[in-house]
Amino acid sequence: MRRIGWVLGSCLLFGCPSDDDEGGGGGGESGEAGGTEATGTTGASTSGTNSTDESTTTTGAADVSTGDTSSTGASSAENTDACEGATLRAKPNDTSMRGPWPVGTRTVTVDDLTVEVFYPAAEQPSGDPVRFDIRDALPPEEAAKISDEQNPWQICDCGRDLPIDDAYGPYPVIVFVHGTAGWRTQSLRHMTHWASRGFVVLTADHPGLMLRDILAPLCGGEAAPRDLDSDLEAMLAAIRGETPALSEFAGVLDAERIGMTGHSAGGGAVGPYSDDAQVIIPLAAGPVVGSGSAIVSSMILGGTADTVVQYSALQSGYGSSASPKRLVGIGNAGHLVPSEICTASNEAGQNLLEIADETGVCGAGAAGFLFQCSDALLDDETGWAIVEYATSAAFEEVLHCSSIGTENLASIQTVYPDVVEFLAE
């Protein structure tokens, strides 16, 4: 009976697999917070310890030129690699390290989508820190139950509306898609990391997929319809300058170099876009990435202890995807390793579920099924470092024309022993 309840709760919250979820065999997912800017401070909790008990599996040989890996991970080594027609500041060869740019953020509207843009800024932020309000991802009547003091604010290492650094560029674009019950800033740390290394990052609240719309039917409301394809087509049109939504970034976006990534159902959604993106990276999802006219490489990444989307689904998606491709399996990591959900907390140290339970947020019980957080899993800091190292390397290899990205991926299991499977062909 408990198993039936778990499945029912998972379907209610994550969305059961359907023909248009493209999630690669196992359920939809989770997200993190996102919303408007405010000011103030927040508490932070730490999660888990590194307790992986898995052994390294067979490693595939990459069908790419690897070169010398002696500088990989060396914090003092830098490169100015850029594709023809672009110039970039020197950034660390270690792709787990933040880059040289301060990060700016702006909120824009693309069609009816609320889109956050993170980008390389020309100056350091000043004044109060940017905060994103997790309550903006909730139905309004549920958001009103959580006070400012109880709220787990997301503090952004970025500045609101800073001038973009137009002395360099043009910058490639990364489109991030949150998962089921997620929101646009659910993986805030990763997005500011990419922006600091010379990318413009776009992330939207997706109607029908975001937390507000997953909770609405559980609370007597109605969810907005979901149309991820239309959402992504609108964002791509804005990147290409076909609509005015990103006109303030005209001349600094490189619309010919696009990467797409997403978490769980969001990772499944980006899989088919091989005619539009040069790099596709599904996170905790196992879609089949096709051999479209634009794709140069793909990488499927996730945790081997994921209970929402089984790691075997990622292996299957990798096996059926077109080459060149890579698979990165993080030992003893769960479904939320590409997000900060497990460590999101308020000043009292309460996590998301504890806050929802205390304040009576409708649907909090069902929300527990997305919360795959445990001290027995790989610690967040290690998981985040692996995600940032691997994704930045894959994006920079193609979108910055950087051999360092290739070298870093070839040596990922040496640098991070918690990567228990790495395949490439």
Tell me the per-residue pLDDT of 300-352, one tens digit each, with 9 for 90 and over.
999 999 999 999 999 999 999 999 999 999 999 999 999 988 888 999 999 88
Evaluated on CA atoms 378, 381, 384, 385, the torsion sign reads: negative
Q: What distance in Å separates the CA atoms of residue 100 and residue 395, rounded to the nearest whole number? A: 17
Taking a C-beta distance cutoff of 8 angstroms, is the pair 36, 133 a contact? yes
All structural domains of the chain: 2-424 (3.40.50.1820)
Q: What distance in Å separates the CA atoms of residue 164 and residue 203, rounded to the nearest whole number? A: 17
- What is the predicted pLDDT for the residue at 367? 60
- What is the predicted pLDDT for the residue at 368? 65
Express as a percent the part of the chain with pLDDT over 70: 82
Q: What distance in Å separates the CA atoms of residue 8 and residue 236, rounded to the nearest whole number? A: 35
Residues with Cβ within 8 Å of residue 202, at least 6 apart in sequence: 115, 116, 117, 173, 174, 175, 176, 235, 239
- What is the predicted pLDDT for the residue at 200? 98
Residue 49 has pLDDT above 90, yes or no: no
- What is the predicted pLDDT for the residue at 132? 96
E strands, 51-170, where?
Answer: 78-79, 91-92, 103-110, 113-120, 130-132, 154-156, 159-160
Distance of CA 404 to the CA centre of its chain: 22
What residue spans of 66-208 are helical by DSSP H? Answer: 140-143, 188-196
Give the least confident one: 159-168, 275-284, 369-378: 369-378
Q: What is the mean pLDDT of residues 222-236?
A: 96
Distance of CA 197 to the CA centre of its chain: 15
Residue 245 has pLDDT above 60, yes or no: yes
Q: What is the mean pLDDT of residues 23-41?
A: 37
pLDDT in tens, 282-308: 999 999 999 999 999 999 999 999 999
Q: What distance in Å separates the CA atoms of residue 261 and residue 302, rounded to the nearest whole number? A: 12
Q: What is the mean pLDDT of residues 366-376?
A: 79
Q: What is the mean pLDDT of residues 142-168?
A: 96
Which residue from 48, 330, 308, 36 is spatially nearest to 181, judged by alpha carbons? 308
Residue 419 has pLDDT above 90, yes or no: yes
What is the average pLDDT value for the chain, to the nearest integer? 85
* Model confidence, pTM: 0.85
Structural tokens at position 30? 């989770």
Q: What distance in Å separates the CA atoms of residue 405 and residue 287, rounded to the nearest whole number? A: 23
Binned at pLDDT 50, 70 and 90, residue 405 comes out as: very high
Q: What distance in Å separates the CA atoms of residue 424 and residue 301, rounded to the nearest whole number? A: 12
Q: What distance in Å separates the CA atoms of residue 112 and residue 229, rounded to the nearest whole number? A: 14
Taking a C-beta distance cutoff of 8 angstroms, is the pair 139, 221 a contact? yes
Structural tokens at position 396? 């920079």
- What is the predicted pLDDT for the residue at 307? 94
Taking a C-beta distance cutoff of 8 angstroms, is the pair 181, 30 a contact? yes
Q: What distance in Å separates the CA atoms of residue 414 and residue 412, rounded to the nearest whole number? A: 5
Binned at pLDDT 50, 70 and 90, residue 425 comes out as: very high
Q: What distance in Å separates the CA atoms of residue 68 and residue 90, rounded to the nearest whole number? A: 19
Structural tokens at position 94? 């270690």
Express as a percent the part of the chain with pLDDT over 90: 75
Residue 31 has pLDDT above 50, yes or no: no
pLDDT in tens, 257-270: 999 999 999 999 99
Residue 32 has pLDDT above 60, yes or no: no
Q: What is the mean pLDDT of residues 101-111?
A: 98
Residue 18 has pLDDT above 60, yes or no: no
- What is the predicted pLDDT for the residue at 115? 98
Q: What is the mean pLDDT of residues 87-95?
A: 98
| CA-to-CA separations, 396 to 168, 195, 241, 405, in angstroms, rounded | 16, 12, 23, 6
Taking a C-beta distance cutoff of 8 angstroms, is the pair 226, 206 a contact? yes
